[in-house]
Chains A and B, each alone.
Chain A
């Protein structure tokens, strides 16, 4: 038991003293997760908006597909993107495997369905009268769309945060596509896996605490936004 208590004590010391290893790993995590969430949001929110606000044949099927993709296993995404980026793969010549960009691509594939599906639901929950009211007040189509987005802004923000939460904590994609290279592609989840295997509990626990804090914080924020 004492090694656990010692581990916790050491972990707190590492965090409080802003250990460069802990900071470096956290920074990689944040940068890559933020980049992939940003790209997924830039595409997923407009896509969700146009799916929700248009009537077309097969709309129900499209929404079902996005909802199903919420359950995409991270290792399967890792495998898919790996097979594209590996030397023998169709994009092998780009030499992207084991780079942050490869991780961003993988995390983007994970976050995109979440952000799209939750954006669809966010827009569908905006009162239908919002658009009509804007139009009767003389809004152009673009202005009316902006009004609808603004009315659904809390739910849309919740969608983005859910996407970030998913990619920030996942390990499969980061491990398979990033390769766990120190100060380059090693993020919190892959570092925890590695340090635990090596018996470096203090560092693993320190990173685990940071991951937990961020994950809980995101969840609380998500709940607050969903309730608004």
Chain B
């Protein structure tokens, strides 16, 4: 659906987004996961055609966005975006939702019909006549959602859509996003810093750190400093006094990522060839699809996946001390 190649966008010397190659599947929900300032919003605004890239291209079907040039209106009519703090125009909710249709010259009767359907889909049909600027943040976000859905975009971009709203509205917005996965003509890309949310809603998670998509599992990503070592195996100091060993040619300040399925959980310390073994306390456990995700505090918080069966047989529970064992080659350094 979307093919991104060699995309570069700089803001002075402070920040550069660099996406070598990224393909976003049609009809799927893709999550862009990363901390604040990692470049998720920049990438979304480039896909939306709001800002031109410095280099590289984004393709969608037969259309392509090149560097330096503004996106043509056909592109912006195929892609729409919802931000974490949406801007509502003066006027009523209905008028707000109708803007995109008016830009497209939709006749009034068809417009009203589609506005009503979109309001219903977003669960805010009772707000139609209210002044948009008098709504709460959560309600305003649902208006923005209705306003985006009413134009029936091919690509819907959401930038931290639940960051600014209360839990009730966030829950109904998540339900709505999840329900969009059934619509095969709609491709959804949303940015979030919330790992749980990324997994709950998306079929694919792309992790972005310091302006680059990371070629690693998006969990257990930590910042660290290469403290020493030789023959490729280096010791990397993370926050909280945690040290791990990894196979990397890099030095200085780095990020590490450890695949949660590559970590062995045991009640006793294992004697093995694996270079890393850390003791930690189980903070929480939550079940997903026959697997249990454990959060283990070992100085930094690790996310570990075990099968439901192992979880039961080992009788693991929050508060318990466990050992996490993983090989140096299971640590990705970048």
In the complex, which residue of chain B has the Cβ closest to the Cβ of A139?
B103
Considering the chains assembled together, what is the distance between the CA atoms of A129 and B89 in angstroms? 10
Considering the chains assembled together, what is the distance between the CA atoms of A132 and B83 in angstroms? 10
Chain B neighbourhood of A141, CB < 8 A: 70, 73
Is A134 positioned at the interface, with any CB of B under 8 Å from its CB? yes
Q: Is the CB of A151 within 8 A of B89?
A: yes
Considering the chains assembled together, what is the distance between the CA atoms of A143 and B89 in angstroms? 14
Interface size on A, residues (CB 8 A): 17
Chain B neighbourhood of A127, CB < 8 A: 87
B51 to chain A, nearest CB (A): 9
Is B80 positioned at the interface, with any CB of A under 8 Å from its CB? yes
Q: Is the CB of B76 within 8 A of A130?
A: no
Contact with A along B55-79 (1 / 0, CB 8 A): 0000000000000001001001101
Is B290 positioned at the interface, with any CB of A under 8 Å from its CB? no
Q: Is the CB of A135 within 8 A of B87?
A: no
Chain A neighbourhood of B50, CB < 8 A: 132, 135-136
Is B151 positioned at the interface, with any CB of A under 8 Å from its CB? yes
Name which of A127, A132, A135, A141 has the most chain B CB atoms within 10 A of its CB. Answer: A135
Q: Is the CB of A138 within 8 A of B80?
A: yes
Is A140 positioned at the interface, with any CB of B under 8 Å from its CB? yes
Chain B neighbourhood of A38, CB < 8 A: none
Interface class of chain A by DSSP: helix
Contact with A along B19-54 (1 / 0, CB 8 A): 000000000000000000000000000001110000
In the complex, which residues 45-60 of chain A have their Cβ closer than 8 Å to any Cβ of chain B? none
A2 to chain B, nearest CB (A): 55
Chain B neighbourhood of A140, CB < 8 A: 73, 103
Q: Is the CB of A147 within 8 A of B73?
A: no
Is A223 positioned at the interface, with any CB of B under 8 Å from its CB? no
A55 to chain B, nearest CB (A): 13
Contact with B along A84-96 (1 / 0, CB 8 A): 0000000000000
Q: Is the CB of B76 within 8 A of A136?
A: yes
Considering the chains assembled together, what is the distance between the CA atoms of A138 and B104 in angstroms? 7
Q: Is the CB of B151 within 8 A of A138?
A: yes
Considering the chains assembled together, what is the distance between the CA atoms of A134 and B151 in angstroms? 12
Is A133 positioned at the interface, with any CB of B under 8 Å from its CB? yes
Considering the chains assembled together, what is the distance between the CA atoms of A139 and B74 in angstroms? 10
Chain B neighbourhood of A139, CB < 8 A: 73, 76, 99, 103
Q: Is the CB of A135 within 8 A of B76?
A: yes
Contact with B along A139-173 (1 / 0, CB 8 A): 11101000100110000000000000000000000
Chain A neighbourhood of B81, CB < 8 A: 136
Is B327 positioned at the interface, with any CB of A under 8 Å from its CB? no
Is B272 positioned at the interface, with any CB of A under 8 Å from its CB? no
Chain B neighbourhood of A143, CB < 8 A: 103
User: Could you tell me which B residues sit within 8 Å of A by CB distance?
Assistant: 48-50, 70, 73, 76-77, 79-81, 83, 85-87, 89-90, 99-100, 103-104, 147-148, 151
In the A-B complex, the 5 residue pairs with the smallest Cβ-Cβ separation, listed nearest first, are A129-B87, A137-B100, A138-B77, A136-B81, A133-B87
User: Could you tell me which A residues sit within 8 Å of B by CB distance?
Assistant: 127, 129-130, 132-141, 143, 147, 150-151
Besides A134-B99, A136-B48, A140-B73, 10 other A-B contacts (C-beta < 8 A): A129-B86, A130-B89, A136-B76, A136-B80, A136-B81, A137-B100, A137-B151, A139-B76, A139-B99, A150-B89
Could you jot down 21 A-B contacts, CB within 8 Å?
Answer: A127-B87, A129-B86, A132-B87, A133-B86, A133-B89, A134-B99, A136-B48, A136-B50, A136-B79, A137-B99, A137-B103, A138-B77, A138-B100, A138-B103, A138-B104, A138-B151, A140-B103, A141-B73, A143-B103, A150-B89, A151-B90
